[in-house]
Structure 1
Amino acid sequence: MTRGMFFEELEEGAHYRSAGVTVTEESVIRFALEWDAQPFHVDREAAATSMFGSLISSGLQTILLTYRMYFQLALLEGTALAGLGIDDVRFLKPVRPGDTLYVDVTVAKLKPSSRPDRGVVTCRLETKNHGGETVLTMGLSALVARRPDGPANGGARSRGVRQP
């Protein structure tokens, strides 16, 4: 069953906000030990003397948390055909243990494909902390299905059949 929106149900400028997720010290260290073991991610003492003054989340972890919150919105659940890319990633503020993050998603661009059954959706994601500060921005593009029965796909409307 499709929960998400089809290409023609999306509107440029539409805005959505995710539920929040709280970053824990354990999650910062566990992620960093496996993927980005820099001292300011895994060692409290080294982090205290770093330019950040305390442990911070890896930027990679922040990207993945951002994507998870975006995905959990289910905007394109069942309609996304493929991810096309992540662009313009910017780390604006460090994420620290105890921060609660949420993602603001704005539909930035809708571009019909040359194939009538799909289109390209580009969203702008802004990850913010519990204080409202933007910690990360990035663009996300996806190939999204059009309604199977819609005019662009040879559905009833494009054949001139009257719709109720």
Structure 2
Amino acid sequence: MSPAMAVDLYFEDVPVGAELVTASHTLGDDDVHAFARLTRDHHPLHTDPDYCRGTPFGRIIAHGLHGLALMEGLKTELRLYENTSIASLGWDRVRFRAPVFPGDTLRVRVRFESKRETRDGARGIVLERLWLLNQRDETVIEAEHSALLKKRGGA
């Protein structure tokens, strides 16, 4: 499925099994420090190059939650549910598979895993499987996300 065909999907439009890939984003040192300031998480793994030289990573790594937030942001740029999203119902099965370093160029692969109507039938829930990939096509984070969507003609 092309990203252009996937703008503003209603529940009925979501093609189970289809995959999309987002544009890429190169993570900068300033991004990691801004996330640390925003979240108040100043652990030295994310902020202190001298400390990091003594770790298995050898240098600063991005926060895992920064990568997860970036997954949502890159996916949002696809405009899948620009006017049809009701709510995010949550993230599940989040796994941090490899570190994300400043300088990494990241993109997200999204697959529509399944969908089901809500109990009242007025809305639908879509389960997405997502992978955050670096410039070497390595999975650095994988997760599942549930989205509550409008149905055509629904309230």
Q: TM-score, normalised by structure 2?
A: 0.90
SS at match of 1:83: strand
Residues 25, 97 of structure 1: 8 Å contact kept: yes
1:103 aligns with 2:108: yes
Closer, same or farther in 2 for the Cα pair 1:105/1:49, shift >3 Å? same
Kept in 2, the 8 Å contact 1:117–1:147? The answer is no
Matched with 1:56 is 61
Partner of 2:21: 17
Q: Secondary structure at the match of 1:61?
A: helix
Matching of residue 88 in structure 1 with residue 83 in structure 2: no
Q: 1:77 aligns with which of 52, 75, 82?
A: 82
Is the Cα–Cα contact under 8 Å of residues 33 and 42 in structure 1 kept in the other structure? no
1:111 counterpart SS class:
strand
* Aligned-partner Cα distance in 1 for 2:47–2:38: 10
Q: Give distance in 1, aligned partners of 2:150 and 2:37.
A: 38
Q: Give 3-state SS (helix, strand or coil) of 2:92's partner.
A: strand
Letter in 2 for 1:4: D
Shift >2 Å, 4+ stretches: 114-117
SS in 2 for 1:40: helix
Gaps of 5+ in 1: 154-164
Aligned residues with identical type, % of pairs: 35
Give the Cα separation in 2 of the matches to 1:82 and 1:64: 16
Name the larger-Rg structure: 1
Deviation at 1:141, TM superposition (A): 0.3
The total of aligned residue pairs comes to: 147
**Distance between the aligned counterparts of 1:105 and 1:42, measured in 2?**
30
Query: Root-mean-square deviation (CA), in Å?
Result: 1.2
Q: Shift in Å at residue 49 of structure 1? A: 1.1
Normalising by structure 1, we get a TM-score of: 0.86
Any unmatched runs of 5+ in structure 2?
Answer: 1-6
Kindly state the Cα deviation for residue 83 of structure 1 after the two structures are TM-superposed.
Answer: 1.0
Give the deviation of 1:90 after TM superposition: 0.3
